[in-house]
Amino acid sequence: MRKRIFPLVFIFRGSFRKPASPTLNAIFSGKIGSQTEAIVCWRPAATPFEKDRYDCFHGRPSAASYLCERGQQRTAQARRGTTAALSLIASAALLSGCASSPGHEPASDQSCLTGTVVYEHYDAESGSTPSLPAPSATWTLSAVDGDGAAVSATGSTALDGSFEACVDGGPIYNATVTVSAENEGVWRVVDTYDESTVFAFSSEPVAEVSGVIDLETLAAPDDVAGAFKAADSVSRLYAARGMDTPCWTPNLATLAECRPVVVSWNSEVPENEGGWWDPEGDKIVLAGADPSSQHLVLHEMGHWWSGELYGGWFPEVTGCEQHFVDHPSTPSCAWTEGFADAVAAWVLGDRAYVLADGTVTPFEAGEGLPWEGGDITQGNVAAAPLDLWAFDGPDGTWGANISLMLEHPSSDFREYFLEDRPAAGLSATGEAADLLLPYGIDYRG
């Protein structure tokens, strides 16, 4: 049916559209093997903020090295001639974004603990429990020097979970690395039963460090692994959001100004006490099993992000106490829930919602048919934007839609399409209107 799969080969050969912005900045979704989707986005090396932290390459981390290799292959082919110059730039940018080490050797007069942070947690999308790197997690090195004075350093893990925690001089003593499920100013995962506590764990202390000691793998203990899993999903939206600011909205420019998203979770939270965005509490609340589903975490992030982009406004939603991808609800419910579903699907590169227990509900009914209800059904309102945003669709990517939300808050899909898209300079006729027809939505007349 209308399932859109973009094999990476295809992407690098020709489906790339030059973004309107002079900043090369794009998102690709792809499929590798039987079930590995990936999102890749990047910007050129010259960025206004810390490169290692914000250049984005993001896929399922297990696919990261594979994607880098594909980038190298494409670069080689591009050099042989036929591929567009822009693709060459794209591949080169991808490669630079794939750099897996922090990019410098520890100086000889430094004392360092190095390693890679990983977490192991059930993943509803793949139905497996892989060991994955923890990207963009905060690490803190704590130790004492020869005089017994405290020394410390802090930083972020790279996208492959690696870190080099160094202090000048040495040797240092009783050194530990603490890793927290936090990217300062951007997100933090806190304990529902003590929300002042960010989930974290520490390495065993090393009695004396002189030069570099490689701790190799630092695995999150089982009771905190869910926090790192949730943070990993959050990081995927962060990588895909496509902005020149470290914040979640373009109207905030520096890390100090950013409003971090707070995700509240504990493995003991019962199923009926989490799984939502809490606008009053200004946080996302997850039940114990919820981090298993990347779709669930990203869906709630979609709600929270909407609130951020709308500047604190949110549509008045009715008839949404219970809502389903495949059942009619109301215009406001289908719009807000469908948009959140679309955010998750866009980031993950699919067209479905996956529950924490692995249950999959596709956005389409099958056989080329939509779910009944047109624009009052969540699945239809989730699927349609994916076609508008598609790289070969009328919008090319979702960037202009995110900008639209800053200026033109929408109460339902009809308003978004017929009023707010034209107001933002996006098409609401022709190809764009025709793309809605398969979802039982006809706004042409």
Residues of this chain that interact with Zn ion (CB under 5 A) are 337, 340
Taking a C-beta distance cutoff of 8 angstroms, is the pair 99, 117 a contact?
no
Q: Which is nearer to Zn ion, 56 or 347 (CB)?
A: 347
Minimal distance, residue 394 CB to Zn ion, in Å: 26
Taking a C-beta distance cutoff of 8 angstroms, is the pair 339, 385 a contact?
yes
Taking a C-beta distance cutoff of 8 angstroms, is the pair 165, 153 a contact?
yes
315 C-beta neighbours (distance < 10 Å), count: 18
Minimal distance, residue 336 CB to Zn ion, in Å: 7
Q: Which is nearer to Zn ion, 300 or 387 (CB)?
A: 300
Q: Which is nearer to Zn ion, 58 or 283 (CB)?
A: 283
Helices (H), 287-356: 294-309, 331-348
Q: Which is nearer to Zn ion, 91 or 336 (CB)?
A: 336
DSSP labels, 200-238: EEEPPPEEEE-SEEEEEEEEPPHHHHHHHHHHHHHHHHH
Strands 261-265 and 283-286: parallel
Q: Which is nearer to Zn ion, 212 or 355 (CB)?
A: 355
Q: Which is nearer to Zn ion, 125 or 337 (CB)?
A: 337
Minimal distance, residue 400 CB to Zn ion, in Å: 24
Minimal distance, residue 276 CB to Zn ion, in Å: 7
Q: Name residue, tokens 């509803």.
A: 124
**How far is residue 30's CA from residue 369's CA, in Å, rounded to a whole number?**
24
Q: Which is nearer to Zn ion, 152 or 330 (CB)?
A: 330
Structure tokens at 105: 């050797």
Q: Which is nearer to Zn ion, 337 or 387 (CB)?
A: 337
Minimal distance, residue 302 CB to Zn ion, in Å: 8
Strands 352-354 and 212-219: unpaired
Taking a C-beta distance cutoff of 8 angstroms, is the pair 221, 134 a contact?
no
**How far is residue 249's CA from residue 313's CA, in Å, rounded to a whole number?**
14
Minimal distance, residue 315 CB to Zn ion, in Å: 12
Q: Which is nearer to Zn ion, 191 or 337 (CB)?
A: 337
Minimal distance, residue 282 CB to Zn ion, in Å: 16
Distances (CA, A) of 274 to 107, 124, 231: 47, 17, 16
Q: Which is nearer to Zn ion, 25 or 233 (CB)?
A: 233
Quick one: CA dihedral 116, 119, 298, 62, positive or negative? positive
Minimal distance, residue 312 CB to Zn ion, in Å: 18
Minimal distance, residue 344 CB to Zn ion, in Å: 10
Strands 187-191 and 261-265: parallel
**How far is residue 89's CA from residue 92's CA, in Å, rounded to a whole number?**
5
**How far is residue 333's CA from residue 315's CA, in Å, rounded to a whole number?**
9
Minimal distance, residue 337 CB to Zn ion, in Å: 5
Q: Which residues contact 248 (CB under 8 A, 6 or more apart)?
A: 186, 238, 241, 258, 259, 261, 305, 308
3-state SS, residue 298: helix
Q: Which residues contact 20 (CB under 8 A, 6 or more apart)?
A: none
